Amino acid sequence: MHLDIVTIESISPGVESSLPSPSARGEGSKVEELFRQAGFKPILKTPAKPVTFPLSQEDRALIAAMEKKLYELGGVGLAAPQVNYAKQIIAIYIPEEASLLRDFAQTYPMHVMINPSYQAYSGEKVSDFEACYSVASKAGKVPRFQQIQLTYQDENGHKHSELASGFYARVLQHEIDHLEGTLITDRLTPDCTQGTVEEMMKLRRESLPDEKKRLFDEVMVKKLRK
């Protein structure tokens, strides 16, 4: 499970157990074995496919499983390729404890976005801490656009467009990266602050004021129990 710095996404290998198996999806045993041996890494570097409407039963089962896991682990984002599905689906959930540890962040209820994309609203980028379950060996301060113009479809196929900013925009960019086969290691250039997850968690904690350090510790204790 990813221990957010303090939460870009939290998933666990167990999420696959609640989804249709690869064999049920008609995938060959050779492909299934390749993914198993590689820890599902190949799919993380492959662009996901657009989702068509109406949603299939498989798509709805996938969405339900993603929402359940994201609730269980306390947010904040999850992309379908992370659970071995190359589909353009992301789930976002920013609870209060995650928002309090970020400057000017807001809470967001659980919501699913299908076929999401974005354009930079302005060229301004801000670097902040990110970690990812899919890259357990490294974390760091990733540069992201401060504001983006987001477009996506909901579960009924209706199109939406909104302006996103701050931590919410960061989470969206991180998850949409997964749909494009991009990981935080691709974003962490040599001049970025980076290191192991443990090193970055320590640095993240040191950067917080005392009152937020206490909240940080409480959040970490909760996550370690999951």
Which parts are annotated binding residues? 132, 174, 178
- Spatial neighbors of 176 by CB under 8 A, at least 6 apart, are 79, 90, 116, 117, 118
d(Cα 151, Cα 159) in Å, to the nearest integer? Answer: 7
Classify burial at 50, counting beta carbons within 10 Å of its beta carbon; exposed 0-12, middle 13-18, buried 19 or more: exposed
Element holding 86 (H helix, E strand) = none
Residue labelled with tokens 């930079």: 120
What six digits make up the tokens of 150?
């987001």
**Which residue among 9, 97, 130, 175 is the active-site one?**
175
DSSP secondary structure string for all residues of 154-173: -TT--EEEEEEEHHHHHHHH
Residue 72 among the catalytic residues: no
Longest dimension (CA), the chain: 53
What six digits make up the tokens of 202?
């320590």
Q: List binding-site positions for Fe cation.
A: 132, 174, 178
d(Cα 43, Cα 177) in Å, to the nearest integer? Answer: 13
Residue labelled with tokens 């931590």: 167
Catalytic center residues: 175
